[in-house]
Amino acid sequence: MAEQKTVFKLGKHGLIILFGLLMLYPVLWLLSSSFKPNELIFSDPGLWPARFTLENYVNGWKGLQGISFSRFFLNSATISVLSVIGNILTCSLAAYAFARLEFRLKSVLFACMLVTIMLPYHVLLIPQYIIFSKLDWVNTYLPLIVPKWLAHDSFFVLLMIQFIRGIPKELDESATIDGCGQGQLYFRIIIPLLVPALITTAIFTFIWTWDDFFSQMIYLSRINLFTVQLGIRSLYDPSGSSDWGALLAMSVLSLVPIMTIFLLFQKHFLEGIATTGLK
């Protein structure tokens, strides 16, 4: 009986490892191909390069039309960091209001917020573009950043509402007796306890903003404003003369920031997900 359990466990772990390797294969192929010469990328299926070269990274980093990829990385970092700060501040404020304050039409506004979560992004795309175009925000970063400073992401508001509802109200009452107002309650009581949810919000916002291609493609057409995703897309030539080595090399580099952020804050990220609504 014990031997059967051992065989079963070994078989189960073997299947999990095999499935994991299958999931990792595209990433490993991307990493391997970024070190191959262009002529070997599609002709050599092995993961270990038959010929090793760093030329792809050198050529890719040179960028386009005299603008290097360092500019694209800086643009992406600017948009992502400002979006993270905006989401953390405004979504936490909105969540605090819904979770702790009483005001007129609270239930109606909360229902409206939930409805926005269900709306596909493409439904709002044309109205948003018309508004931003009339504000003369096209070819600026404002359409990508300003909504984050208006509690635009209802998902994170809902995430924080659930977390705040799990914080005992007795803490608020004790602080109120000691003379704390709503502002002090928010900054001194709620925010310190909300850190896991804030980190979860920051990680998701950074990853989603960094990886965003569609919105950036819609609003940005000047090459000096391009982000990493648009820069990588520009390396692809539909006519067939694409520099695949440079494209794959820059794709590998584009993964470094989000992998670093996730690995550094993985513990807090998992804690934020696990404790939301259960604390």
Same domain? 81 vs 52: no
Look at residue 253 and tell me whether its pLDDT is greater than 90: yes
Look at residue 85 and tell me whether its pLDDT is greater than 60: yes
Which of 15, 40, 60 is at the close of a domain? 60
CA-to-CA distance for 264 and 210, rounded, in angstroms? 17
Residue 278: the pLDDT is 45
Q: Can you list the alpha helix ranges (DSSP code H) found in the chain?
A: 2-33, 55-61, 69-100, 106-118, 121-134, 142-145, 154-165, 169-177, 182-184, 191-193, 195-211, 214-219, 228-234, 244-264, 266-275
Same domain? 126 vs 207: yes
Same domain? 223 vs 102: yes
Which of 60, 75, 108 is at the close of a domain? 60
What is the tally of structural domains in the chain? 2
Same domain? 92 vs 219: yes
Asked whether 204 and 156 are in contact (CB, 8 A), the reply is yes
Same domain? 75 vs 168: yes
Residue 181: the pLDDT is 86
Same domain? 160 vs 180: yes
CA-to-CA distance for 262 and 164, rounded, in angstroms? 24
Look at residue 1 and tell me whether its pLDDT is greater than 70: no
> How many residues make up the chain in this entry?
279
Same domain? 103 vs 161: yes
- How far from 30 is each of 248, 250, 260, CA to CA, in Å? 6, 10, 18
Residue 256: the pLDDT is 92
> Please, which pLDDT band fits residue 117 given cuts at 50, 70 and 90?
confident
Asked whether 34 and 245 are in contact (CB, 8 A), the reply is yes
Counting Cα atoms < 13 Å in the Cβ hemisphere of 234 gives 24
Residue 209: the pLDDT is 94
Look at residue 270 and tell me whether its pLDDT is greater than 60: yes
Mean pLDDT of 47-52: 82
Same domain? 118 vs 231: yes
Mean pLDDT of 272-279: 51
Domain holding 53, by residue range, is: 2-60
The two tokens of residue 192 are: 């310190």
Look at residue 46 and tell me whether its pLDDT is greater than 80: no
> Please, which pLDDT band fits residue 82 given cuts at 50, 70 and 90?
very high
Same domain? 103 vs 73: yes
Residue 269: the pLDDT is 64
* Residue type at position 63: G
Question: Which residues are paired to 67 by β-bridges?
Answer: 64
Same domain? 54 vs 68: no
Same domain? 117 vs 26: no
Mean pLDDT of 249-272: 82
The two tokens of residue 10 are: 């070994």
Look at residue 277 and tell me whether its pLDDT is greater than 70: no
Residue 219: the pLDDT is 94
Which of 16, 41, 60 is at the close of a domain? 60
Give residue-wise pLDDT tens across range 89-114: 999 999 999 999 888 899 999 999 88
> Please, which pLDDT band fits residue 274 given cuts at 50, 70 and 90?
low
Give residue-wise pLDDT tens across range 207-246: 999 999 999 999 999 999 999 999 998 888 766 677 888 8
> Tell me, what CATH number does 233's domain have?
1.10.3720.10
Give residue-wise pLDDT tens across range 143-198: 999 999 998 889 999 999 999 988 888 888 888 888 888 888 899 889 998 988 89
Same domain? 136 vs 83: yes
- The residue with greater pLDDT, 30 or 237, is 30
